Amino acid sequence: MVEAEAAAGVTAAQEAAGPLSEYVIASRLRKNRATHRALLLLRAALFFLFLAYRVQSLLYGTPSCSRAIDNGELESCRFHGELGVVALACEAWFCVIFMLSMVIKWSIVERVTYPDKLLKRIKELPNIDVFVTTADPSKEPPLITMNTVLSVLTIDYPMNKLACYVSDDGGSLLTLWSLKETIAFAKSSWHPFCTKFSSHIEPRAPRAYFSRNGNVEKAMKYGFLHEWHTIKKQYEAFEAKIRSMTVAYSKARDETLERLSNELQGSSISNGDQTIYKSWASNYNTSNHASHCEILSGMPQHNLDEEFPCLVYLSREKLPKKKHHFKAGAMNSLLRVSGIVSNAPFILNLDCDMYVNGSKALLHAMCFFVESKDMEVNDKLGFVQFPQSFEGLDKDDIYGTSMASTMEVWLKGMDGAQGPPYCGTGCVHKREALYGKSPNTNPCQLSSSHGQKLVDMFGSSTSFILSVEDILSCSKHSTPLVDEKALMRECKLLMDSSFEDKTSWGKEVGLIYGSVTEDLLTGMKIHGRGWKSVFYMPYPPQFLGCAPSTGEDALTTRKRWSMGMLEILFSKNTPLLTKCLRGLSHAQRLIYIYVYGFTLTCLPIFTYSLLPGFSILGGYPIFPKVVEPKILMPMSLIMCMYMSNIYESKVVGVGMKQWWNSERMEYIVAISSSILASYEMLKKKVLRLSETTFTITPKDQNVKYIAQSNDYDVDKNDKEPAKVSQESFRVNSTLPIFIPPTVVVIFNIVALMVAFVHIIRSPRMITYWPLAEVACCMWILFMLQPFTKGFFLWARDQSGPNVLPTSIVLHASLLVGILTFFTLYTN
């Protein structure tokens, strides 16, 4: 008996032994790594050969040019020389970018975690604060945000270790009211339901849970069908209430706010001042509002009730003339307020649409933070990033929003170096990493603050400074503010728009300001101090959100990202300068240069899209004639490029159609979003004309929930989710981002028409026809097929979602007119 018990003890110990997480070559690449690397090397070699050809032909002329020289038409070679130089410049840039991308692609890795072992071995899990940001209830419907909050409140983690903070940058009563409704629904129905049947409920966002296939069958199988129906009904009532208030708000804002303030007046509020809602409703403005903070559930210090996590609503002060730094500013307020309320050493950050899809997400993250040997915290790891995955994408992902190859190749590749960047959502940070500490310095010593006082860096709030000292392990203060009124007063001070003046917030402390992709910048600064990060992408995805649902939104979001990356590249935090970001490893620095430089590649891409057209109009070739053997050089390079791309997406498990859509989308993004972002950057830097804005991506609360598998142990290939198919890429938008691709389309059509006239005129000169250039023009039109089609449909005078608007066509035609005139004039 004793022996049996001892044996059982041994097996249990064995089960719990070993690492909590592992690091392996990406599974799909394991067998193919050599082929993948060989293709990359082949592509590099072909690139160099082609560049050599280009240089040689520039120095000694192409055969057709020598012929012109022989005929005494030396002058006519001039333009070819210039075109050749432009082509060389673009190709050299492509080559450099490709070489940099090899650093990422060389070692693509994957992670595995063992949360069960963690639970068996760790005595006490650390506290975690969850930050949810929302900014505008008209673009981010409260229903979406509330589902995210519900999924956080029911996550698989000890409830007394968890606090959830909702930052509302819109300062909207609608959000606060919805949150109060949410907590009522959570306490009465959703939370008890999820606790009771915890092992069978996934995901814990009710809207997704009730609409996914298979969940009702599961309820039947495990005998809780009756409860399932009851809770579903209650959820539907809750949803209807939130929806109808949102509709009322969008129709008659002021009246609805009045109604909301009356409803809220009745409820108890922590700061006791009930008139606040009235004044809020009468002066409502998203960009100009006072700060407000309420603890809606469980003061954490006396959260002895272990049933339910602490929930806090906060809205920082915003003044029209004061820069508020968008999401970065909101996150910094969250850091401060949470510092004096719960001060957890770990922070999970979620965008309002990113609900928790895998309820063990936090346990997975902890498997990286807790070191297997001594169960101490891994002192070099700054953050763990989960991928951004999306709900309800159309079947072939026509807007390339899943960014499958970005996730599978870029982020897993960066994981093979110092780590992935912080991607804004689905990221668990160590709080001290966000406070500007370096892993290599002593406790309480901040990397760049030699001798600088904490007050100068973190601002003058005594209780906040105490909380910072706690985190930086200078000393332990376990006497937090207990008086709720005093706590609220301090929170208000911390959310003041002038609190950060003359401090290091946004420079060295918190999320870093100066880029609309504050996430990338902040992550890089953290790496720059020597921290590492981890990318973890299990199946099913641990967090799911809303992707932009139209071409217009997708390209606008990508424009903001491009802008943010350019802001970083041309700032004092640029990875190009070795004196900043000293903690970056060489590989990581090259990777960051690649990531930001990639945006700038839009300039050579745009130029290269016009080159074949210029070449045809000017009558001077940029590629060898099709009868010359040298034609094999560009042809083999292009073939190898596509082959390696297709191979790569095949091994990472992306289907052909999806691959093609993302290839096409990346091209469209380059010549639309990124070109416009570069133009705005130029205006901002040189003419100091424009201020960067943050256009929030609208979230669709009616997104279709795909039938997604919830089981952890199924392979991704076994149950590919059945997705809805969307017809085609819509181009009927008058946004300026649609002008550059239309210019490329019209210019190439003009060039093809000119080429056609040449060919008709001299049918016997077949060997001198610019066939390679013609093929390029046709390929470009094919890549830009939505725009090409949109242009032809416009010419036939139809209206519809796939037709380019007249204003875009007119603007583009004007630009094409200028380009054509310029080509013919310089000829």
Ligand X SMILES: O=c1ccn([C@@H]2O[C@H](COP(=O)(O)OP(=O)(O)O[C@H]3O[C@H](CO)[C@@H](O)[C@H](O)[C@H]3O)[C@@H](O)[C@H]2O)c(=O)[nH]1
Q: Which is nearer to Mn ion, 239 or 553 (CB)?
A: 553
Partner that binds at residue 326, options ligand X, Mn ion, none, CB closer than 5 to 8 Å by kind = ligand X
Retrieve residue 5's tokens.
């018990």
For residue 22, what are the β-bridge partners? 112
User: Cβ 214 to ligand X, closest distance in Å?
Assistant: 28
Is the Cβ of residue 520 or residue 622 nearer to ligand X in the bound state?
A: 520
Question: The sheet that has 346-351: what strands, in order across it?
Answer: 292-297, 310-315, 162-168, 128-134, 346-351, 427-430, 381-385, 532-535
State the burial class of residue 9 (Cβ atoms within 10 Å of its Cβ: 0-12, 13-18, 19+): exposed
The nearest distance, CB 314 to ligand X, in angstroms, is 11
Residue 564 binds which of Mn ion, ligand X, none (CB < 5-8 A, kind-dependent): ligand X
Q: How far is the CB of 165 from ligand X (least distance, A)?
A: 12
Amino acid sitting at position 197: F
Which is closer to ligand X, CB of 568 or CB of 600?
Answer: 568
Question: Which stretch of DSSP H or E encloses residue 131?
Answer: strand 128-134
Structure tokens at 222: 């495990």
* Binding-site size, Mn ion (CB under 5 A): 2
Q: How far is the CB of 545 from Mn ion (least distance, A)?
A: 6
Question: Which residue's CB is nearer to ligand X, number 545 or number 786?
Answer: 545
From the list Mn ion, ligand X, none, partner contacted by residue 168 (C-beta under 5 to 8 A by kind):
none
Active site residue 456: no
How near is the Cβ of 564 to Mn ion at its closest, in Å?
A: 13
How many Å apart are CA 426 and CA 351, to the nearest integer? 8
Q: Which does 207 bind (CB under 5 to 8 A by kind): ligand X, Mn ion, none?
A: none
**How far is 423 from 388, CA to CA, in rounded Å?**
8
Shortest gap between Cβ of 175 and ligand X (angstroms)? 10
Q: Is 134 or 189 the residue whose CB approaches ligand X more closely? A: 134
Partner touching 557 among ligand X, Mn ion, none, CB below 5 to 8 Å by kind: ligand X
Among all chains, which residue has been given the structure tokens 């910048």? 521
Whichever of 557 and 674 has its CB closer to Mn ion, that residue is 557
Distance of CA 452 to the CA centre of its chain: 34
Choose among Mn ion, ligand X, none what residue 694 binds, the Cβ cut-off being 5 to 8 Å by kind.
Answer: ligand X
Judge whether 697 and 555 are in contact, CB under 8 Å: no
Cβ 421 to Mn ion, closest distance in Å?
A: 16
Residue 136 known to bind ligand: no
Say if residue 628 carries a ligand binding annotation.
no
Q: 739 touches which of ligand X, Mn ion, none (CB within 5 to 8 A by kind)?
A: none
168 labelled ligand-binding:
no
Q: Which does 517 bind (CB under 5 to 8 A by kind): Mn ion, ligand X, none?
A: ligand X
Q: Which is nearer to Mn ion, 139 or 200 (by Cβ)?
A: 139
Compute the least distance from the CB of residue 140 to Mn ion, in Å. 9
**232 to 26, 192, 208, 239, 538: CA distances (angstroms):** 40, 13, 11, 10, 29
Instruction: Mark residues 680-719: x for contact with Mn ion by CB under 5 A, - for none.
Output: -----------------x----------------------
* Among Mn ion, ligand X, none, partner that 134 touches (CB below 5 to 8 angstroms by kind): ligand X
Could you write out the DSSP letters of every residue in 487-545? HHHHHHHHT-TTTTTTSSBTTTBSSPPS-S-HHHHHHHHHHHTT-EEEE---SS-SEEE
Residue 182 beta carbon to ligand X: minimum distance, rounded to whole angstroms: 17
Residue 660 interface partner, choices Mn ion, ligand X, none, CB cut-off 5-8 Å depending on type: none
- Sign, CA torsion 439/443/449/454: positive
- 501 neighbors 494 (Cβ within 8 angstroms): no
Structural contact between residues 388 and 468, judged by C-beta atoms closer than 8 angstroms:
no
Residue for token pair 């001299």: 762
Cα separation, 608 vs 604, in Å, equals 6
Query: 201-216 burial, b for 16+ CB within 10 Å, e for fewer?
Result: bbbbbbbbbbebeebe
| Closest residue by Cα to residue 462 from 478, 443, 446, 481 | 481
Site for Mn ion in 335-394 (CB under 5 A): 351
Q: Among Mn ion, ligand X, none, what binds residue 94 when CB lies within 5 to 8 Å by partner kind?
A: none
Q: Any known ligand binding at 139?
A: yes
Residue in 340, 688, 697 with CA at minimum distance from that of residue 551: 697
Task: Supply 646's token pair.
Answer: 């297709």
Between 308 and 543, CB nearer to Mn ion: 543
Calculated CA dihedral for residues 461, 462, 464, 470, nearest 10 degrees: 160
- Strand pairing report for 162-168 and 292-297: unpaired
| Least gap, CB of 423 to ligand X (angstroms) | 6
What is the distance between the alpha carbons of residues 369 and 431, in angstroms, rounded to a whole number?
12
Q: Are 646 and 409 in contact (CB under 8 A)?
A: no
696 touches 136 (CB < 8 A) = yes
810, 746 contact by CB (below 8 A): no
In the complex, the residues that contact ligand X under the rule CB under 6 A are 133-135, 140, 169, 326-327, 330, 351-352, 424-425, 516-519, 557, 560-561, 564, 694, 696-697
Nearer to ligand X, 91 or 518 (CB): 518
Instruction: Say which of 168, 169, 470, 553 is annotated catalytic.
Output: 169
Q: Label the pairing between strands 427-430 and 381-385.
A: antiparallel
Residue among 454, 451, 181 nearest 339 (CA)? 454
- Cβ of residue 393: shortest distance to ligand X, in angstroms? 14
Task: Name the residue with the smallest CB distance to ligand X.
Answer: 424
- Nearest residue (CB) to ligand X, 425 versus 788: 425
- Can you tell me the distance from the alpha carbon of 804 to that of 224, in angstroms, rounded to the nearest whole number? 53
Q: Which is nearer to ligand X, 94 or 543 (CB)?
A: 543
Q: How far apart are CA 767 and CA 763, in angstroms?
A: 10
Instruction: Quote the CA–CA distance of 58 and 346 in Å, as a whole number.
Output: 58
Q: Is 327 assigned a ligand-binding role in the annotation?
A: yes
- Mapped onto helix, strand or coil, the DSSP state of residue 315 is strand
User: How far, in Å, CA of 495 to CA of 197, rounded?
Assistant: 39
718 labelled catalytic: no
Structure tokens at 702: 């009616």
Task: Cite the annotated binding site for UDP-alpha-D-glucose by residue number.
Answer: 139-140, 169
Task: Cite the annotated binding site by residue number.
Answer: 139-140, 169, 327, 351
Interface with Mn ion by CB under 5 A: which residues?
351, 697
Task: Cite the annotated binding site for Mn(2+) by residue number.
Answer: 327, 351
Active-site residue numbers? 169, 519
